[in-house]
Structure 1
């Protein structure tokens, strides 16, 4: 079921396996980026998901301020969710990938995080 959709992001809930899949489709403004992450957090909390797949392949680089916010405020809130695993589809853009790696390192201190090249492999790992 699609829970949230914009021009730059879609969030799907797979209730059978308690999986949330977030798929970025490109860049967006700073405000849109932060609001989207907050919306993902709310959906994950409200649906009590256990697994999240972060498909960030098409996400564009964010500002230094947004990166700091993501790695501090957002990461802290993220670790309070009842998550068991996080699968990541790494960004195609090398700068975005380097930025997002900082978030994954923070999360991996609290939640198992693994990187994948395709959605099928990520989903298989999440649900094994």
Structure 2
């Protein structure tokens, strides 16, 4: 089910596996970026999501102020969520990827994070039944 959709981001929840998928479609304003991430946090809390795919392939680089906000305010809020595993799909943009690695390094302290090049592999890792 799609919970949030704009020109730059779509957030959908796969209820059967309790997986949230966020897919960025490009750049947006600073305000839109921050509001979108706050909305993602609200959805995760409301649905008690334990696994998420962060598809950042098309996300554009963010401003230094937004990067600081992401690695301080947003990262701190993210660590309080019920998330157990996050599958990250690498960005096509090298600068975006470098920026996002700062966030993932912070999240790895309390959430299992792995990176992937495609959505199928990311989703499969999240939904695999442990042996």
Cα deviation for residue 84 of structure 1 reads: 1.0
Q: Deviations over 1:67-113 (max 9, x none)?
A: 00000100000010011100000110000000000000000011000
Structure 2: distance between partners of 1:9 and 1:83: 20
Structure 1: stretches of 5+ with no match in the other structure: none
Q: How many residues matched?
A: 128
Tell me the TM-score normalized by structure 1: 0.99
Q: Deviations over 1:21-68 (max 9, x none)?
A: 000000000000000000000001000000010000000000000000
2:111 aligned partner:
111
SS at structure 2 position matched to 1:58 = coil
Dislocated runs of 4+, deviation >4 Å: none
1:70 aligns with 2:70: yes
SS at structure 1 position matched to 2:32 = helix
Structure 2: distance between partners of 1:90 and 1:45: 25
